[in-house]
Chain A
Amino acid sequence: GAVVSQHPSWVICKSGTSVKIECRSLDFQATTMFWYRQFPKQSLMLMATSNEGSKATYEQGVEKDKFLINHASLTLSTLTVTSAHPEDSSFYICSAPNAGGIDTQYFGPGTRLTVL
């Protein structure tokens, strides 16, 4: 089946640094990708919709200047957490819908970010 990959799978960084997370659709093209954040023992919260060729759309309460999203190609979206702080430590997951419909939306394996 279709696969979505994320890189890195985990990252530890110092407070104040920026971290880039990549999301790739490996065998299909995705004009739209979604970024979620999941804190321990909590649900997935949609952060933003990444749109190929145009600006990302952010959910209410998500700082667009802190979470920069770039959809560089039909198979790659990147999320950059700028000036990361310990409260940004979380599990970040992306998803990419195939053209077939809602039940062909595939999730990446997630990236564990720890900010010291």
Chain B
Amino acid sequence: GQQLNQSPQSMFIQEGEDVSMNCTSSSIFNTWLWYKQDPGEGPVLLIALYKAGELTSNGRLTAQFGITRKDSFLNISASIPSDVGIYFCALAGYGGATNKLIFGTGTLLAVQP
């Protein structure tokens, strides 16, 4: 089946540091999404990417859709305590359905004030 690997599994950083995480897919998809999940909540969309090579920013967050269409990365600059949470990449179009998503394994981010 489809594999969506995300790394690192967890990160513990100091406030103000930059963060980078990435996802790789075993297949080609047309849409990469990045979500953040706070404890006990549903995921919230951060960035959506639709074209190979696309680089998109949302405040301190930047994400890129890899040229091969099999990978993506998310960067967070100048981290702050409220960045704490689990970050998931996701692919849209799973099983041929436009809105079906498959999620990555997640990256747990902890920020030390």
Task: State the A residues within 8 Å of B (CB).
Answer: 4, 32, 34, 41-46, 49, 91, 93, 95, 97, 102-103, 105, 107-110, 112
Scan residues 87-105 of chain B and give those whose CB is less than 8 A from a CB of chain A.
Answer: 88, 92, 94, 97-105
Task: State the B residues within 8 Å of A (CB).
Answer: 31, 33, 40-45, 48, 88, 92, 94, 97-106, 108
Let me know if B41 and A102 touch, CB within 8 A: no
Residues of B within 8 A of A45 (CB): 103
Q: Choose among A43, A93, A102, A112 the residue that contacts B98 (Cβ–Cβ < 8 A).
A: A102
Separation in Å of the A55 CB from the closest CB of chain B?
15
Sample of 14 further A-B pairs with CB below 8 A, known A95-B42, A103-B33, A110-B41 = A32-B99, A34-B101, A43-B103, A44-B88, A46-B102, A49-B100, A93-B43, A95-B101, A102-B33, A103-B48, A105-B99, A105-B101, A109-B41, A110-B40
